[in-house]
Amino acid sequence: MKRNHPFRLSDLAINVVNSDLEDENEKYDLLVYPIGYERRSRYVAERTVGRWQKALGYVFPDGHVLSFEQNLRVSKDWGVSEIHGVDKLELLESIVRALDCKDYSSKRILVDISSFNRRLIASLSEILLTEPIFDGCDVTFAYSLAKFREPPKRAAPFMDFAPIVGLEGWTAHPERPTVLVVGVGYAEDEAIGAVEYLDPSVTFGFLPTGVDFRFRLEVERNNLALLALINRRNVVDYKIMFPYQTFWELLTLVQHLSATTRVVLVPMGPKIFCSLCILVKMIVGDEIALWRASGHELSSVSDVEADGAMCGYTVWKQNRADSSRPGI
């Protein structure tokens, strides 16, 4: 694995690299994945079965519909340990218990974020990237792309648009203008709601391209109002399959902007972008805020299937006791 470009994350040096999830030689000590209502939620687990030693399945307290029962059955067949609570301490304890070893450094942990909600992605990232017990671990965030389906007819209004708890940031410069960096999804006019609410001085839009070009067409078609509103030079195209490159683009932009403004990240669209936003927020620090919109109810859920393509990135963390590893 190529290791370069270290960053400081609190007092820790890290590297970020693209992951090849198809590589049969890549083995993991632990898989953390959601047991949800989408068929997609077990896809990464299925594709990597035999390459992870243990698995921890997060069972959502509600949404036991569509493919949930089947996902749960399969997880039981695999002997997956279940987590039910959303409390960070519970999550941490469950992961520590599942790994069950004396030395956690050098462990390799795979987290499938495809069907997790944004709050849980944030909690898991914070635990795995900042808890000292996992210093020295490699954490791979994996994402399986969805099969194309028509976007919902109308974007649900934001019932709750607020900072993700723990990632709201804290500024020493409230007088500086707010700049919005929004990850654009394919639901109609969803991103423009963030613009309306936050009323930023400048908006940057990150537009995804996956393997199925129909998604991209829908992204553009359903965000015409947003695209008319923001300057074309503030639109950044990113490829879902190359999170490392997206990470760099996002980090460079945010670091540049945060010198003179207060940046708000609003990751709509693919969860891999949300995961990258969380990582960037952790690296850049308290001047950055991360918000999420929630307007969806269980009545509007659908059984999303995986397309077959997977992508991911690995955060490689230096063990605090070990200063000999390269890239530090």
Partner 1 sequence: MYEEDSIFDTFNARHLTAQQIAETFVPPVGIFSELMSVGNHLLTGPRGSGKTTLLRMLTVPALLSWQHIEAEQFLNRIDFVGVFVPADRNWHGQLKSLSKYELDQISARTLGEAAFTTHILKGLVRAFQDINEAVIGQHPYSIHKQLVKLDQNNERDLVREVAKGWRLDVAIPTFAGLQSALSLRLIDIGLLRRSLMKMQNVDIRAERNDYLYLDHRECVRFAVELCNSMARLPSRRFCLMFDELEIAPSSIQQALLADLRGGAEESICIYKLALAPFNKHFYKEFNEVQPTARNDYVHIDLTYARKELGYDFSTQLIRSLLHRNGLQNDDARTLLGPSGFDFWDSDATVSPYANGGNVTRSLRSLHGKDHSFREYLDANHLTIEGIGDQRQESERAQYIRKVRSIAMVRDYFIRAPRELREHEAVRDSQTLSAEPLTSRSRKSYFPFTGFPSMLALAEGNPRWLLGLFRPLIRELAVIRQASAKGRVDRATQAREIQEAIKAFRSLLRTIPYKNDERGERGLLKFLDTIGTFFYNGSVMGPFKAQPPLSFTVDANVDEEVIVAVGRALNVGALVYVPDHESDKMLANIRGKRFRLCYLLSAYYKLPIILNTAVSLGVILDRSGKGQGGGKHEAQPSLPLE
Asked if 298 interacts with partner 1 (CB under 8 A), we say no
Nearest CA to 30 out of 122, 119, 115, 106 is that of: 106
Hey, what amino acid is at 284? V
Instruction: Return d(Cα 166, Cα 162) in angstroms, integer.
Output: 11
By CB under 8 A, which span of 19-27, 63-71, 110-118, 189-197 interacts with partner 1? 189-197
Which candidate, 205, 268, 191, 254, places its Cα nearest to that of 233?
A: 205
Q: What gap in Å lies between CA 130 and CA 180, rounded to an integer?
A: 26
Position of tokens 């996992």?
134
Note whether 306 binds partner 1 by CB under 8 A: no
What's the gap between Cα 56 and its chain centre? 18
Kindly state whether residue 181 participates in binding partner 1, applying the rule CB under 8 A: no
Give the nearest distance from C-beta 94 to partner 1 in angstroms. Answer: 20
Size of the site for partner 1 (CB under 8 A): 49
- What is the closest distance, in whole angstroms, from the C-beta atom of residue 129 to partner 1 in the complex? 16
Spatial separation of the C-alpha atoms in residues 313 and 18, rounded to whole Å: 4
Q: Which of 1, 65, 162, 217 binds partner 1 (CB under 8 A)?
A: 162
Q: Which is nearer to partner 1, 82 or 189 (CB)?
A: 189
Cα 254 from Cα 235, distance rounded (Å):
14
Interface segment toward partner 1; rule CB under 8 A; list 16-24, 134-142, 165-173, 248-256:
165-173
Binding segment for partner 1 (CB under 8 A), chosen from 10-18, 43-51, 169-177, 303-311, is 169-177
Scanning 4-12, 24-32, 62-70, 186-194 for contacts with partner 1 by CB under 8 A, the matching segment is 186-194
Nearest residue (CB) to partner 1, 93 versus 307: 93
| Contact call for residue 36 and partner 1 (CB under 8 A) | no
Measured at the CA of 68, the angle between CA 75 and CA 62, to 5 degrees, comes to 115
CA separation, residue 59 to residues 68, 219, 304 (Å): 9, 31, 17
Report the distance separating Cα 205 and Cα 244, nearest Å: 18
40 and 303 in contact (C-beta within 8 Å)? no
Show the site string, 253-292: x = touches partner 1 by CB under 8 A, - = not: --------xx-x---------------------x--x-x-
Instruction: Compute φ and ψ for 275, nearest 5 degrees.
Output: -60, -40
User: According to CB under 8 A, which one of 61, 150, 170, 323 is a site residue for partner 1?
Assistant: 170
Stretch that binds partner 1, among 30-38, 41-49, 161-169, 267-275 (CB under 8 A): 161-169
5-17 per-residue burial string, b: 16 or more CB within 10 A, e: under 16: ebbebeebbbbbb
Q: Is 229 in the site for partner 1 (CB under 8 A)?
A: yes
Q: Which residues bind partner 1 (CB under 8 A)?
A: 154-159, 162-163, 165-166, 168-175, 177-178, 189-190, 192-203, 224-226, 228-231, 234, 261-262, 264, 286, 289, 291, 295
